[in-house]
C-alpha cells in the first residue's frame, strides 16, 4: 500500500486506509492495523521499556533494538574475524566481504566497486541524479521511498533508537550503531594499506583512500566538475547552480550545506561537548578534535620531514616545519 503525506496545521499525517489501518497514534500520527500494534508502538513515546532480555535482564523501549541486543547472546552465525553475530547465514556471507575486500559489482560509469548489487544500484542513482521521492514538508528529494519515511523524523522529532550507553536518541538504527562505534568504542579495525592511518568505520577508510588515489567519483551534471565527496558536490550545487536548500543556524543564521555540519555548529553555541578524553577531563564537539587532542598524551610521532627526518605528532606541525626547512635548504644551495 502506498503511503501519502499531507500537511495539516503544520504537522504530518498519514492518509490511512480505514479498512486496513484504523488505529492512529496521537503522538506521531502513525497508523496501525491492530489495536495491539498501536499499544506496542505507544510505548516508544512513554519511554516504557517493555522488552526484557532473558539473558542479562537489560530492558529496551524499541523492539528492533531489543532484537539486536538478543543476537549478541546467540551463537547462530558468528564472524570469525570480528565476532559480529548474524541471524541469517546470507547476512554473515555478505558481511564477510568487508574483511576480504572483495567487491564483485563494478559501476560502468566511474569504476567504483561494491559488495552487493543493491549498493551498486543505489550508487548509480548518483550519476543519474534520480530522486523521485520528495518530502512533502521541505521538498527534499530521495532516491528511495524508505528514505522519505526516515527523513520525516527530522520534522516529527521521532527518535525511536536509543544508545544503550548514553541514552541518546536517533532517527535511524544505522545512526545509532555509528554513534556507538565512534563515541563509545576505541577499536579502529580498518587500516589504510598505503599509510599508517586507521579508522573506526569502513566508510571513513574509503573516503580517506581517495586522498591516495585522487579519485573524484561525484560529478556535477551541470558543469561536469568532479568531487571527492557528496558533501563537496552538494556545496558546489548550492553555490554555483543554486540547486538545493541551505540549512541555517537558528542562533546566528550561518548557512550550511550538510546537516551534520549544522548540528556540530549548534553544539558549539550550546557548549555541548560529547567527546571526552579518557586521559583528562577535556571535552570536544567532534571526534576529529578529540583525536587531535589525544596526541598530547601520546609519544607517537607519525609525521616525518623527508628533508631532515624531524618527526612530529601533528600533520600541521610538519607542514609548517617543511616550509621553513625548504627555505633553509634553498639558502644553503
Question: How many whole angstroms separate alpha carbon 39 and alpha carbon 27?
Answer: 12
Number of domains forming the structure of the chain: 1
Write the CATH number for 304.
Answer: 3.30.160
Whether 272 maps to a domain, the answer reads no
For 105, phi then psi, to 5°, come to -105, 120
Whether 134 maps to a domain, the answer reads no
Q: With beta carbons less than 8 A apart as the criterion, state whether 61 and 50 touch.
A: yes
Percent of all residues in the chain with a pLDDT value above 70, rounded to a whole number: 85
**Which CA distances in Å does 142 have to 82, 157, 319?**
33, 19, 41
Q: What is the mean pLDDT of residues 127-143?
A: 77
Whether 26 maps to a domain, the answer reads no
Opening angle at CA 128, ends 122 and 131, nearest 5:
65
Q: What is the mean pLDDT of residues 116-125?
A: 77
What pLDDT band is residue 4 in, cutting at 50, 70 and 90?
very low
Whether 223 maps to a domain, the answer reads no
Q: 0.85 cut: is pTM over it?
A: no
Q: With beta carbons less than 8 A apart as the criterion, state whether 31 and 47 touch.
A: no
Percent helix, strand and coil across the chain, each rounded to 5?
40, 15, 45
pLDDT, tens digit (0-9, with 9 covering 90-100), for 290-331: 877 877 787 777 778 777 878 887 777 878 887 777 775 555
Structural domain harbouring 306: 299-332
Whether 327 maps to a domain, the answer reads yes
Whether 328 maps to a domain, the answer reads yes
Helix (H, G, I), strand (E, B) or coil at 273: coil
Amino acid at each position: 500500500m502506498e503511503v501519502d503525506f499531507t500537511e495539516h496545521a503544520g504537522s504530518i499525517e498519514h492518509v490511512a486506509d480505514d479498512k486496513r489501518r484504523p488505529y492512529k497514534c496521537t503522538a506521531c500520527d502513525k497508523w496501525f492495523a491492530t489495536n495491539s500494534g498501536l499499544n506496542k508502538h505507544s510505548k516508544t513515546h512513554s519511554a516504557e521499556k517493555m522488552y526484557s532480555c532473558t539473558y542479562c535482564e537489560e530492558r529496551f523501549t524499541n523492539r528492533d533494538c531489543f532484537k539486536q541486543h538478543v543476537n549478541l547472546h546467540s551463537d547462530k552465525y558468528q564472524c570469525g574475524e570480528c565476532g559480529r553475530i548474524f541471524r541469517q547465514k546470507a547476512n554473515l556471507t555478505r558481511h564477510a566481504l568487508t574483511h576480504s575486500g572483495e567487491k564483485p559489482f563494478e559501476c560502468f560509469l566511474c569504476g567504483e566497486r561494491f559488495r552487493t548489487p543493491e549498493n551498486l544500484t543505489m550508487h548509480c542513482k548518483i550519476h543519474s541524479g534520480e530522486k523521485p521521492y520528495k518530502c512533502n514538508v521541505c521538498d527534499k528529494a530521495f532516491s528511495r521511498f524508505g528514505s522519505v519515511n526516515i527523513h520525516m523524523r527530522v520534522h516529527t522529532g521521532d527518535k525511536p533508537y536509543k544508545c544503550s550507553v548514553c541514552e541518546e536518541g536517533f532517527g535511524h538504527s544505522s545512526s545509532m550503531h555509528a554513534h556507538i562505534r565512534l563515541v563509545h568504542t576505541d577499536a579502529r579495525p580498518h587500516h589504510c594499506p598505503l599509510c599508517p592511518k586507521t579508522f573506526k568505520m569502513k566508510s571513513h577508510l574509503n573516503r580517506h583512500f581517495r586522498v591516495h588515489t585522487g579519485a573524484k567519483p561525484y560529478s556535477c551534471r551541470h558543469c561536469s566538475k568532479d568531487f571527492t565527496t557528496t558533501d563537496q558536490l552538494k556545496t558546489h550545487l548550492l553555490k554555483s547552480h543554486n540547486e538545493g536548500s541551505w540549512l541555517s543556524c537558528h542562533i546566528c543564521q550561518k548557512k550550511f550545506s550538510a546537516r551534520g555540519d549544522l548540528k556540530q555548529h549548534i553544539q558549539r553555541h550550546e557548549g555541548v561537548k560529547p567527546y571526552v578524553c579518557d586521559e583528562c577531563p577535556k571535552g570536544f564537539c567532534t571526534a576529529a578534535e578529540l583525536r587531535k587532542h589525544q596526541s598530547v598524551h601520546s609519544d607517537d610521532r607519525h609525521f616525518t620531514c623527508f628533508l631532515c627526518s624531524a618527526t612530529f605528532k601533528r600533520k600541521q606541525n610538519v607542514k609548517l616545519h617543511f616550509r621553513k626547512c625548504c627555505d633553509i635548504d634553498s639558502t644553503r644551495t
